[in-house]
């Protein structure tokens, strides 16, 4: 897979794309990253990428020319039809499901906005999709592009152990069960006995129940999308009272 990121601040990506699992994914040839500064595509004398908004108001707006030309150039060099995605708080809320869909693509072009954002013609005529990483406003799309890249790349074949994402939070439509590692007793805080029992079936059952209970306690909204057996409904019923809250008590 190829992921190209259009940004005015390419240096911001150095650490994120060249450390840890993202670095390994690239070394294994699972992904090829390129960060391109769309300022390099400006045709005006001062390499300006933004201008005042028509109609007045605060802030600057990213002009169409550099972004249209940068995307056209990257598309011309691509062997397939890349998917052009704008990072914007007005986009579709990014989820694990969208990460799974994007992991099937061959080539993504993520465009990072800045200032007041994009001229609307970029949104209407250049973007195939728009993604938001949450209901808050960042100064630029770089952190959002990093979040999307990280979530997508960890799903690619051979990047991390396959089993580890089957159970990940959200993959099964609920939160993942709690994890414990050595020591079995840390300063009087003990690991649940079942996990030390070596009884795989019981462990699997316990984990499934824990995943359901914590989803009921923390994210009851997620349960609307999964079908529960009568036993499962009974198990979580006590946690679905009025006191259920997404906030940790
Ligand atoms: N005035 C715009 C916000 C601009 S923020 C509005 O109200 O919609 C500047 C840039 O940061 C955006 O163009 C976008 O690329 C990025 N950005 C900010 N918040 C974001 C979010 N929640 N998700 C994705 N990108 C975001």
pLDDT in tens, 78-112: 999 999 999 999 999 999 999 999 999 999 999 99
Structure token digits, residue 200: 């795989």
For ligand 1, atom 21: residue with the closest CA: 89
Atom of ligand 1 nearest to the CA of 117: 13
Closest residue by Cα to residue 40 from 84, 81, 89, 6: 6
Phi/psi for 114 (5° steps) reads -155, 175
Select 2-162's CATH number: 3.30.70.100, 3.40.1500.10, 3.40.1280.10, 3.40.190.10: 3.40.1280.10
Among the listed residues 10, 82, 89, 119, the single catalytic one is 89
Q: How far is the CA of 88 from the centre of ligand 1 (A)?
A: 4
Average pLDDT on 227-249 reads 79
Q: What is the pLDDT of residue 52?
A: 98
Helix (H, G, I), strand (E, B) or coil at 227: coil
State the distance between the two ends of the chain, measured CA to CA, in whole angstroms: 42
Q: In which band, very low, low, confident or very high, does the pLDDT at 167 lie, cut at 50, 70 and 90?
A: confident
For ligand 1, atom 18: residue with the closest CA: 138
Average pLDDT on 145-169 reads 90
**pLDDT higher than threshold 50 for residue 25:** yes
Q: In which band, very low, low, confident or very high, does the pLDDT at 246 lie, cut at 50, 70 and 90?
A: low
Q: In which band, very low, low, confident or very high, does the pLDDT at 15 lie, cut at 50, 70 and 90?
A: very high
- C-alpha to C-alpha distance for 130 and 25, rounded to whole angstroms: 25
Active site residue 116: yes
The DSSP letter of residue 225 is: G
Q: How far is the CA of 153 from the centre of ligand 1 (A)?
A: 22
**pLDDT higher than threshold 70 for residue 233:** yes
Q: What is the pLDDT of residue 247?
A: 55
Structure token digits, residue 122: 């970029």
Q: What is the pLDDT of residue 228?
A: 95
Domain with CATH 3.40.1280.10 in the chain: 2-162
Closest residue by Cα to residue 208 from 245, 240, 175: 175
**pLDDT higher than threshold 60 for residue 244:** no
Q: How far is the CA of 137 from the centre of ligand 1 (A)?
A: 5
Domain with CATH 1.10.1270.20 in the chain: 185-248
Whole-model pTM: value is 0.94
Q: What is the pLDDT of residue 242?
A: 57
- C-alpha to C-alpha distance for 165 and 44, rounded to whole angstroms: 47
What dihedral angle (degrees, nearest 10) is formed by the CA atoms of 80, 82, 83, 89? 170
Calculate the average pLDDT of the chain: 95
Kindly report the CATH class assigned to 185-248. mainly alpha
Structure token digits, residue 248: 């940790």
- C-alpha to C-alpha distance for 64 and 119, rounded to whole angstroms: 6
Q: How far is the CA of 120 from the centre of ligand 1 (A)?
A: 13
Question: From the CB of 93, is ligand 1 less than 6 Å away?
Answer: no
Q: Mapped to the 3 state alphabet, what secondary structure does 165-180 carry?
A: HHCCCCCCCCCCCCCC
Active site residue 176: no
- C-alpha to C-alpha distance for 174 and 240, rounded to whole angstroms: 15
Average pLDDT on 105-132 reads 98
């Amino acid at each position: 897979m190829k992921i190209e990121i259009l940004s005015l601040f390419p240096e911001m990506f150095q650490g994120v794309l060249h450390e840890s699992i993202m670095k390994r994914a690239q070394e294994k040839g699972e992904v090829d990253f390129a960060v391109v500064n769309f300022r390099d595509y400006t045709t005006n004398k001062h390499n300006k990428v933004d201008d005042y908004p028509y109609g007045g108001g605060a802030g600057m707006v990213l002009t169409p020319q550099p972004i249209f030309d940068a995307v056209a150039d990257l598309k011309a060099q691509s062997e397939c039809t890349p998917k052009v995605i704008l990072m914007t708080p007005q986009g579709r809320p990014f989820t694990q499901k969208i990460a799974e869909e994007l992991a099937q693509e061959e080539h993504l072009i993520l465009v990072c906005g800045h200032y007041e954002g994009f001229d609307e013609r970029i949104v209407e005529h250049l973007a195939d999709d728009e993604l938001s990483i949450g209901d808050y406003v960042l100064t630029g799309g770089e952190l959002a592009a990093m979040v999307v890249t990280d979530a997508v790349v960890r799903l690619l074949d051979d990047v991390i152990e396959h089993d580890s994402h089957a159970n990940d939070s959200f993959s099964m439509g609920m939160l993942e069960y709690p994890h414990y590692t050595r020591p079995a007793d840390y300063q009087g805080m003990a690991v649940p006995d079942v996990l030390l029992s070596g009884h795989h079936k019981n462990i699997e059952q316990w984990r499934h129940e824990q995943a359901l209970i914590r989803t009921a306690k923390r994210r009851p909204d997620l349960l609307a999308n999964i079908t529960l057996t009568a036993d499962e409904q009974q198990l979580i019923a006590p946690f679905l009272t009025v006191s259920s809250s997404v906030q940790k008590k």
